[in-house]
Amino acid sequence: MSKIKPSKGAPYARIMGVGGYRPTRVVPNEVILETIDSSDEWIRSRSGIATRHWASEEETVAAMSVEASGKAIADAGITPEQIGAVIVSTVSHFKQTPAIATEIAHLVGAGKPAAFDISAGCAGFGYGLTLAKGMIVEGSAEYVLVIGVERLSDLTDKEDRATAFLFGDGAGAVVVGPSQVPAIGPTVWGSEGDKSETIKQTVAWDEFHAERPEKFPAITQEGQAVFRWAVFEMAKVAQQALDAAGISPEDLDVFIPHQANMRIIDSMVKTLKLPENVTVARDVETTGNTSAASIPLAMERLLATGKAKSGDTALVIGFGAGLVYAATVVTLP
């Protein structure tokens, strides 16, 4: 018989607070058109994007995360010292080690929490949310700060007609804490590694280090292949998440998909047959694709504008490089 004492966690977990940060510089399509042969009409029709935010030198991954985290902590009504773990999802922190989560934990005044980064691309927020839920129920932390943050302008090839208009910068954060009722549903997640080449970095860091005559590494993708996968496969994953939570589309109040592309969002709404009264996040129009930050940023904007409210039932789904995905049903803070 094991002599290890059982963990004493909460029965359930919930999102308690949310915060976001968008860089001050707003970049319209006209700026993108300075380096690619395209048009504002083409960009809008293909992606739904009109503007995006690009970070200044001072708006680092850590600085944006601290701003978003401070809002989330205040919204949750706790103090930074109560945070037991910090999880950061990002692909644009350029140091292999140490994790940026440790710096952020220090800057927000969280004391000595567990702190680590994860790399799950645009599905990273869902992965982090699931890890946080497990920590709280298991008892290793009472409150967990989950951050999605990107400076994708650093990884954008401004001359690539297929991707130059897609990406933006920003940070979104949530505080996950204990709950007496279910408020974060089972996560449907996974990966399809046979499609890993459809979204990738052009040059590996070690190859770049070898001083090859290459441009600085950037993100590239096979747009049509990714579009088809997102539209046809991710709608199935979203439905599985609804089924796992015992929720029907008619029970939903809000749908917050990864803000990759307006056409993908609209296609998923149609495939899932969501009722017209379900509020759909379409933050991509003015924020662009911010990868792991897109879901918490969209969530924060819906709550701030009153388009969604505390207690609403929301389906969230992220998907991207890997190819990886994560979907779950949550109660909004």
* Residue positions annotated with a catalytic role: 122, 258, 289
Question: Does the CA dihedral 193-195-201-203 come out positive or negative?
Answer: positive
Q: Are 73 and 83 in contact (CB under 8 A)?
A: yes
Count of CA atoms in the C-beta half-sphere (13 A) of 130? 22
First to last CA, the chain: 41
Tell me the β-bridge partners of 12: 179
How far is the C-alpha of 329 from the C-alpha of 327, rounded, in Å? 7
Q: What are phi and psi of 93, to 5 degrees?
A: -95, 115
Q: Are 156 and 210 in contact (CB under 8 A)?
A: no
Whether omega before 296 lies within 30 degrees of 0, making that bond cis, reads no
